[in-house]
Amino acid sequence: MNQATIKYANLDEALHSVAAGGYEAIGLWREPVQEVGLAESARRLRDSGLRFTTLCRGGFFTMPEGPERRAAIDDNRRAIEETATLAAAGAPGSTAVYVLVAGGLPEGSRDVVDARARVADALAELAPEAQAAGVTLAIEPLHPMFASDRCVVTTLKQALDLAEPFAPEVVGVTVDTFHIWWDPEVLPQIARAGASGRIATYQVCDWKTPLPANVLNSRHYPGDGVIDFATLTAAVEATGYAGDVEVEIFNDDIWNAPYDEVVARTAETFGAAVGPHLALPVRTA
Amino acid sequence: MNQATIKYANLDEALHSVAAGGYEAIGLWREPVQEVGLAESARRLRDSGLRFTTLCRGGFFTMPEGPERRAAIDDNRRAIEETATLAAAGAPGSTAVYVLVAGGLPEGSRDVVDARARVADALAELAPEAQAAGVTLAIEPLHPMFASDRCVVTTLKQALDLAEPFAPEVVGVTVDTFHIWWDPEVLPQIARAGASGRIATYQVCDWKTPLPANVLNSRHYPGDGVIDFATLTAAVEATGYAGDVEVEIFNDDIWNAPYDEVVARTAETFGAAVGPHLALPVRTA
């Protein structure tokens, strides 16, 4: 379970709800961790008995050189350390994966090629620190409807091209069905990601239209939309990926529902739509 | 000018407003043409003195074989004839280009690969008729936010792959900045389209966020958003494309403004953002 699916839960609520729901692993977000503090978060994570999968999220480093860029790079450095600490605190099998969203076009810029070059620069700067900390940077291509304001990296191919100069355990990619299902190249690029050992995390949620007024929160439970999870998941598994599969849903209705209900429904829909063989036994309420 | 920019204008209003605005060419939509009838539309187009650029739009043939598919194919056959008739009625330099939007996932389907195969089938069925009529079918990749409900063809590369089995004068592509600006492959694919003689039409409008509640109508005047028209247009021109450039904007505010005002503003913004060398002298009001 990715914590963003129960966005309004604080760290304790998220850990308890997810563990009680029968899950074995959780992906955390920086804000609720910072609210409690890193050391205390690590303690509570350890107490939960859950594996740690990913820390979401950083990046946002498309701006030109200057104080704003330096602040962004420094913030990413801190997130690398947070990821290492949390992965060490999680149950055995935890993965030290830090999810990166590149950022959109800088204010006033129309130069998407330059913005992408700034992403490559940031990776080159952060990769040695990630390597030293034993953390994998997971570049996440976002759906092209976010290309201008959130992420100039729009395809798995592009994310893999950005990752290529680095060792796969240092820079990988986030494979998220919501963002890439539409891509005619998605299956060969999943194969390429797997062959180069760069699938750092596999995340699922569904796509459905019409989109809500805030397109950021247009994600759905697996099976409630049109994504062919069987085909995409089989492609990921065919590469040998055997890591956790995260469900990350941004949706106002789901965010406003009781956490335990969302946790249970996520497990049910995941089992039914993504794959019963991947689902954990879930305790009935 | 593409007629959709002044969507609520009937054929007469569109022809008069566009001609009075100093434009030399117009792209028409099927509905306002059918409202008047094809023969009468052709007469009025001839009287306007405008070149005809494209007929918008058809396609929508991703469904499996059956009566619904047959009806769609037949409707596209009629549109091919309409395109030929209108191109013959337009001023010298008119182009017989028929813009095709593939269609989304059929109701209840999650099989985007199959839907794309149905697009290839439809092209194979329609290409001989287009060839006989001297019409170019222009496959339009739409932005991936429309992939499920409107167009499973999402990239210029994919449109060109679909076009490849056919002669370039029979099956080409629609290059529309709004739909493809985000694509990391856009420049090489524009070059490929031009090298194979498949740029059937070049259309422009701008991308800006936040998107409105109805994302279909999220297009803007050139320059009001973040698209780098200089780079994209230079890439199109570098291929030798010397056809008309259409402005096609879906936007509720623009649709509700007086036609003459929209026609004038379109010319101004086009000249400023896309290229003064492409803009026509526009009569001042």
Q: Identify the DSSP state of B151.
A: B
- The per-residue DSSP string of A125-147 comes to HHHHHHHHHT-EEEE-PPPGGGT
Instruction: Tell me, yes or no, whether B269 lies in a domain.
Output: yes
Say if strands B199-204 and B97-101 run parallel, antiparallel, or are unpaired.
unpaired
- pLDDT for position A283: 40
Residue pair B147/B112 in contact (Cβ under 8 Å)? The answer is yes
Q: Is residue A66 part of a domain?
A: yes
pLDDT band at A278 (very low <50, low <70, confident <90, very high): confident
Judge whether B206 and B227 are in contact, CB under 8 Å. yes
| Cα–Cα distance measured from residue B139 to residue A126, given in angstroms and rounded to the nearest whole number | 42
Q: How confident is the model at residue B278 (pLDDT cuts 50, 70, 90)?
A: confident
Residue keyed to tokens 């095709």: B100
Q: Cβ separation of A110 and B228 shorter than 8 Å? A: yes
Distance CA A80, CA A123 (A): 12
| CATH number of the CATH domain containing A21 | 3.20.20.150
Does the pLDDT at position B282 exceed 60? no
- DSSP conformational letter for A248: -
pLDDT at B279: 75
Which residues of B are less than 8 Å from A227 in CB distance? Answer: 110
Share of chain B above pLDDT 90, in %: 96
pTM of the model: 0.96
The CB-based long-range contact list for B259-265 (8 Å cut-off, 24+ gap) reads: B259/B6, B259/B9, B259/B13, B259/B14, B259/B17, B260/B17, B260/B20, B260/B21, B260/B285, B262/B5, B262/B6, B263/B1, B263/B6, B263/B17, B263/B18, B263/B20, B263/B21, B263/B23, B264/B21, B265/B221
Helical spans, DSSP H, in chain B:
11-20, 30-36, 38-48, 67-89, 112-133, 156-163, 177-180, 186-195, 229-238, 252-255, 259-269
- Mean of the pLDDT values across residues A154-163? 98
For residues B243-264, average pLDDT = 97
Mean pLDDT (whole number) for B224-237: 98
Give the per-residue SS3 of B25-54.
EEEEEHHHHHHHCHHHHHHHHHHHCCEEEE
Residue B135, helix vs strand vs coil: coil
Q: What is the mean pLDDT of residues A69-82?
A: 98
In chain A, what residues touch B149 (CB-CB under 8 Å)?
209-210
Q: Which of A36-40, A98-102, B275-279 bottoms out in mean pLDDT, i.e. has the lowest? A: B275-279
Q: Looking at the predicted structure, is the pLDDT value of residue A71 above 60?
A: yes
Three-state SS annotation for B74-103: HHHHHHHHHHHHHHHHCCCCCCCEEEEECE
Interface predicted TM-score of the whole assembly (ipTM), two decimals: 0.95
Q: Which of A118-122, A248-252, B66-70, B276-280 has the lowest mean pLDDT?
A: B276-280
Q: State pLDDT tens for residues A231-247.
A: 999 999 999 999 999 99
pLDDT interval class at B275 (50, 70, 90): confident
- CA B28 to chain CA centroid, Å, is 9
Contact B184 A155 (CB under 8 A): yes
- Considering CB atoms only, which of A109, A143, A208 is closest to B144? A143
pLDDT at A22 over 70: yes
Cβ neighbors of A203 (< 8 A, separation 6 or more) are A2, A174, A175, A176, A177, A178, A245, A246, A247, A248
Question: pLDDT band for position B281 (50/70/90)?
Answer: low
Distance CA A276, CA B165 (A): 41
Tokens 């570049």 appear where?
A139
| B72 pLDDT above the threshold of 80 | yes
| Whether residue A285 has pLDDT greater than 50 | no
What is the reported pLDDT for B276?
Answer: 80
Instruction: Give the residue-averaged pLDDT of B24-51.
Output: 98
- Give the model's pLDDT for residue A211: 96
Cis, peptide link before residue A210, omega less than 30° from 0 = yes
Q: Is residue B284 part of a domain?
A: no
Please compute the mean of the pLDDT values over residues A84-105 and round it to a whole number. 98
| Per-residue confidence band for A281, with pLDDT thresholds at 50, 70 and 90 | low
A42: tokens are 């690590």
A90 DSSP 8-state letter: S
Interface test with A, best of B228, B233, B252, B274 (most A CBs within 10 A): B228
Give the residues across from A199 on adjacent strands. A173
Expressed as residue numbers, the domain containing B45 is 3-278
User: Using CA atoms, how far apart are residues A246 and A248, in angstroms rounded to an integer?
Assistant: 6
* Residue B285 covered by a domain: no
- CA torsion sign, B121 to B162 to B207 to A116? positive
Residue A283 within any structural domain of the chain: no
pLDDT score recorded for residue B280: 66
Question: What is the rounded average pLDDT for all residues in chain B?
Answer: 96
The Cβ of residue B230 has, within 10 Å, a number of other Cβ atoms equal to 12
* A75-94 as b/e: b if 16+ CB within 10 A: ebbebbebbbbbbebbeeeb
Q: What is the mean pLDDT of residues B266-274?
A: 96
Q: Which of A110, A149, A182 sits opposite B147 (nearest CB)?
A: A182
Closest CA of chain B from A149, distance in Å:
7
pLDDT score for A225: 98
For residue B277, name the pLDDT band (cuts at 50, 70, 90).
confident
In a domain, B283, yes or no: no
Residue A127 resides in a domain: yes
- Measured between CA atoms, the residue of chain A closest to residue B180 is A144
pLDDT in tens, B132-145: 999 999 999 999 99
**Residue A280 confidence class, pLDDT cut points 50, 70, 90:** low
Residue showing tokens 């003459």: B260
Domain annotation covers residue B50? yes
Q: Which residues, 6+ apart, have CB-to-CB distance to B275 below 8 Å?
A: B229, B230, B233
Question: Which residue intervals of B107-155 are DSSP H helices?
Answer: 112-133
Chain B positions touching A151 (Cβ under 8 A) are none
Q: What percent of chain A has pLDDT over 90?
A: 96
Q: What is the mean pLDDT of residues A248-263?
A: 98
Q: Element (H or E) spanning A246, and its range?
A: strand A245-247
Residue A203: which of A254, A144, A250 has the closest Cα?
A250
Question: Which chain A residues are within 8 Å of B223, Cβ to Cβ?
Answer: none
Tokens of B176: 């529309």
Contacts of B147 in chain A (CB under 8 A): 181-182
Separation of alpha carbons B172 and B203, rounded Å? 14
CB pairs under 8 A between A and B: 81
Residue A165 pLDDT exceeds 70: yes
- What is the number of structural domains in chain B? 1
